[in-house]
Chain A
Amino acid sequence: MNLTLKIWRQSDAGKKGRIVDYKIDDVSPDMSFLDMLDMLNEQLNNKGEEPVAFDHDCREGICGSCSLQINGEPHGPDRMITTCQLHMRTFKDGDTIYIEPFRAKAFPVIKDLIVDRSSFDRIQHAGGFISVNTSGNTIDANAIPVNKHDADKAFDAATCIGCGACVAACKNASAMLFVSAKVSQFALLPQGKIEATDRVLNMVRQMDEEGFGNCSNTGACEIECPKGISLENIARMNREYMSASLKG
């Protein structure tokens, strides 16, 4: 298939970027989206042009590093997948595809399609952990009974790969789905109860400081999340936050 790509090019964080058009021919429908970008970059290299910078690592939907806003949706039009799992058969011959970086004030562009998502790391550092004694007398996690329902919900929340698609999809660039997943994975487990109050207060404070928007409950994040993280987590975080605030 032959395609027209409209790709955001920006040489570095300080420079102004713009959309540049590229034609690419003979794309196989079996290629992944990132394979297609590799092919484009090879052609650009051969012509002596600067290849398009984009994030990727595992290429199997588990690391969360690939990003890309494709035709106005994070990770493209398919559901429950990352960009590396998106196949070119999703598109038709002759299509024009917009490829832009995930946009948020808290995700500044580093180069072309690569954005700096370290704001997520700082939110995690603010409270996305539990303190476990690792000096030799650690209690086996399995020794603490957890009911199946809570364990399942905690595990579902823990499948968040921190890709940032929720922020990219949200009209307010809100990080509530990500943060709520990181709060919920501990809030539901006995191991997470000890630091529960500080965790939610600190993580939400950091989220606000990073400049993410507010949640309007549009639900766009849940639809676009490659891991199917549910809005229930946001409601849980709201409850956790309000009760933590009352406790002081």
Chain B
Amino acid sequence: MSGFLNSTIARKFAMALSGLFLVIFLAQHFFINITSVFSAETFNEFSHFMGTNGFVQYVAQPILIFGVVFHFVMGFVLEIKNRNARKISYARYNGSANSSWMSRNMIYSGGFILIFLVIHFIDFWVPEINIKFIEGDMSGLDAAGNYRYYDHVVHSFEPIWRTVLYIVGFVFLALHLIHGFQSSFQSMGFNNKYSKALKGFTTAYAIIIPLGFIFIALYHHLN
């Protein structure tokens, strides 16, 4: 397997697969989050289920974390090889004449998303894991005996700096997905008469989902 992953094509295939997996996860994350706009109760129930369900915590979550780590480690490995492939750079390089900014800067959009993810984990994931799995309190209740999840979200988006940081994170996510989502199909060998329609769908997805996340962040900030 490690020998197989030495080849450029296999690496790109693995990059595409892990990316697609993360794209699907993103949709699931979005649909749970959006409930927070409509009903605090539904959001609390979903959150509690996700935080306490054995399958989610012990199977899905490790796979997800592996997917994220694999995607960015491989991203850096590929980037290093790419940089090595041209030792002396051009005095003049007109990249915008033949390719999109998004496609040429995946490492930067990806790098920013990684920083954002670390902050996001510290904001939401670490406190929950701490209460549930370190302190051992699986109830999901605050001192007053109510579910704490919704309040935690609302509270988190009170400061403007975090709201802005999340918005910037989602903008980079959109830029990353506009190229990455459709590109993953090409890496897996899918390029035919349906590709144009697929590109329309992936581009719409890459814009609408991050916009939705931005809406949620702003909604809680403004309320």
Q: Which residues of A contact B (CB under 8 A)?
A: 6, 8, 19, 69, 71-73, 77, 98, 100, 103-106, 169, 171-174, 176, 204-205, 207-208, 211-220, 223-224, 231-232, 234-239, 241-242, 245
Contacts and interface: CB of A to CB of B under 8 A. Distances in A.
Given A103-B90, A223-B98, A171 B9 contact: no
Given A216-B106, A231-B191, A238-B189, A207 B8 contact: yes
Interface in B71-99: 78, 81-82, 84-95, 97-99
A100 B12 contact: no
A245 B4 contact: yes
Nearest to A103: B86
7 contacts: A69-B90, A171-B104, A172-B86, A174-B82, A215-B12, A223-B99, A242-B189
Contacts of B7: 204-205, 208, 241, 245
Interface of B: 4, 6-13, 78, 81-82, 84-95, 97-100, 103-104, 106, 179, 183, 186-192
A219 B99 contact: yes
B86 A214 contact: no
Contact of B98 (A69, A73, A235): A73
Contact of A172 (B6, B82, B92): B82
The A interface, classified by DSSP as helix, strand, loop or mixed, is: mixed
Contact of B12 (A169, A236, A238): A238
A79 to B, nearest CB: 9
Contacts of B106: 216
Contact of A219 (B9, B82, B98): B98
Given A214-B8, A238-B189, A220 B98 contact: yes
Given A171-B104, A219-B99, A100 B11 contact: no
Contact of B104 (A105, A106, A204, A218): A218
Contact of B94 (A6, A73, A106, A237): A73
Given A218-B100, A235-B191, A104 B86 contact: yes
A172 B104 CA distance: 9
Nearest to A108: B87
Nearest to A98: B92
Given A105-B84, A211-B85, A98 B91 contact: yes
Contact of B89 (A103, A172, A235): A103
A231 B189 contact: no
Contacts of B189: 235-236, 238-239, 242
Contact of A174 (B85, B97, B100): B85
Contacts of B179: 217
A212 B85 contact: yes
- Residue of B95, B98, B103 contacting most chain A CB atoms (<10 Å): B98
Given A208-B8, A213-B81, A220-B98, A72 B191 contact: no
Contacts of A98: 90-92
A90 to B, nearest CB: 13
A224 B93 CA distance: 13
Contact of A105 (B6, B87, B187, B190): B87
A245 to B, nearest CB: 6
B90 A204 contact: no
